[in-house]
Amino acid sequence: MIIDAFKKVSDMASNQLALPLGVPSFRPQDRYKAFPLDSSNFHPITPTSGTSAFLDGGNLEILSTPALSVHFERVYYNLFRDGERAFLSLPQKIEFLAVVSARGSADGFSYEASLLPLSDDSAEYLPRERDLRFDAYDRSISERGMVRISSIGGIIRSFAEWSYAASVCDELDDGIFVMDGTLHAPYKNEAKYAQRAYKSAHGVIFCGVSKTSHLYTTTGLSLPFAIRRLAREKEVQPPWYYSNLVEITDPAHLADLNFAMLHKDSRYVFRVEVLKTQRDRRDEALSLLAGNSNDLTFPGYPYGLIDAHKHAHVPQDLLGRLRTLLLSQISSSVDSDSIADLLSTTDAHDYLDRIV
């Protein structure tokens, strides 16, 4: 039976991939105006070397209750000049704990964060705590009712990335600065951190590169898949980038949105955003990105982002150790029954997994 079911899945996948290209699909109410796909929007890329900086972040929740969430957070950057690793005066990474607490009032619930730097040189690069207060029903975070407290840790990491990006860009004079992800800053107070980072990029092209994309065309095709299919049909050889997809007027998303294949042997099309006010330097940005995308482990993806992900990632195997250390400290000031009662509000699912 399962083979028959898989054959039906195969037929469905085949039908899906054969759909017409369609038009890039964006919601007009979100301030995105899409343009039809056109082969004249493909542009060749000439890889070049120069100055390229990359930044990524990671976080891991080490304590989870409905009213208190603790995350270990890390943000890391690197710098390459003409293919060689270089350094700035600021530390390459910052690490801190984000402690998120639920607060009740007559108007409802909100979440507030306290940031605890894990080194003396991390504190000055962190966002301000007063900017990290979120309504528990904030529609920019969740459109499905109450925001889960555990999701706030990832939002705080985004704030920390923008904050650290401003300091990195302030020490650069040329080349590109690349964040992992898009340049969209949708959360309350986030846009002002993005703006500060943009203003710090004196002569530096500010970019974002996304590993994945959940954009579609009006027929239901994946947008990067549709663009790659168009490139094949028109025999456009990589490396290339595709522009003139959409005009964005959302003040929280100051980006010129493109898709690119950054290496002749790549199988991947990545979403590449350039700060909207710098789109006249798009060719330069894509050339520098392609020049950094020759690593044999992942041709077509910037090595700087591979390295940034490696050093910013907080591995899951750290969870047990960090959680044990934290609970041992809590137990010195809180009685064991209270700790057990606190944890039991969320860990029943984990307990069930262990006993079945």
Alpha helices in the chain (DSSP H): 2-17, 152-170, 190-200, 223-233, 282-291, 303-312, 319-331, 336-343, 348-355
Asked if residue 302 and residue 212 are part of one domain, the reply reads yes
Q: For 52-56, 96-100, 285-289, 345-349, which range has the lowest pLDDT when averaged over its residues? A: 345-349
Asked if residue 245 and residue 349 are part of one domain, the reply reads no
Domain contains 257: yes
Asked if residue 143 and residue 88 are part of one domain, the reply reads yes
Asked if residue 238 and residue 327 are part of one domain, the reply reads no
Asked if residue 331 and residue 265 are part of one domain, the reply reads no
201: closest CA among 226, 165, 236? 165
* 351 band by pLDDT with thresholds 50, 70 and 90: very low
Q: pLDDT per residue over 152-165, tens digit each? A: 999 999 999 999 99
The residues near 151 (Cβ < 8 Å, ≥ 6 apart) are: 141, 142
Domain contains 7: no
Asked if residue 169 and residue 237 are part of one domain, the reply reads yes
Q: How large is the average pLDDT for residues 272-285? A: 97
More confident residue, 344 or 207: 207
Question: DSSP code of 237?
Answer: P
Is residue 171's pLDDT more than 80?
A: yes
Is residue 352's pLDDT more than 50?
A: no
How many structural domains compose the chain? 2
Q: pLDDT per residue over 324-339, tens digit each? A: 888 888 877 766 555 5
Distance, CA of 69 to CA of 98 (rounded, Å): 8
Domain contains 216: yes
Asked if residue 329 and residue 185 are part of one domain, the reply reads no
Domain contains 139: yes
Domain contains 20: no
Residue located via tokens 């054959």: 7
Is residue 349's pLDDT more than 50?
A: no
Domain contains 273: yes
Domain contains 172: yes
Q: Are 284 and 277 in contact (CB under 8 A)?
A: no
Domain span holding position 183: 43-314
Q: How large is the average pLDDT for residues 282-306? A: 96
The residues near 88 (Cβ < 8 Å, ≥ 6 apart) are: 79, 168, 171, 172
Distance, CA of 347 to CA of 352 (rounded, Å): 9
Asked if residue 275 and residue 241 are part of one domain, the reply reads yes
Q: How large is the average pLDDT for residues 31-53? A: 96
- Look up the CATH number of the domain holding residue 124: 3.30.2170
Query: Which one-letter amino acid corresponds to residue 101?
Result: S
Neighbours of 2 (CB within 10 A): 6
More confident residue, 99 or 28: 99
Asked if residue 304 and residue 273 are part of one domain, the reply reads yes
Domain contains 4: no
Asked if residue 109 and residue 48 are part of one domain, the reply reads yes
Asked if residue 196 and residue 227 are part of one domain, the reply reads yes
Q: pLDDT per residue over 219-259, tens digit each? A: 999 999 999 999 999 999 999 999 999 999 999 999 999 99
Q: Are 125 and 77 in contact (CB under 8 A)?
A: no
The residues near 342 (Cβ < 8 Å, ≥ 6 apart) are: 65, 68
Asked if residue 297 and residue 240 are part of one domain, the reply reads yes
Q: pLDDT per residue over 132-158, tens digit each? A: 999 888 888 876 788 899 999 999 999
The reported pTM is 0.91
Residue ranges with strand state E in 216-269: 216-217, 240-242, 246-248, 255-261
Top mean pLDDT of 94-108, 176-190, 337-351 is at 176-190
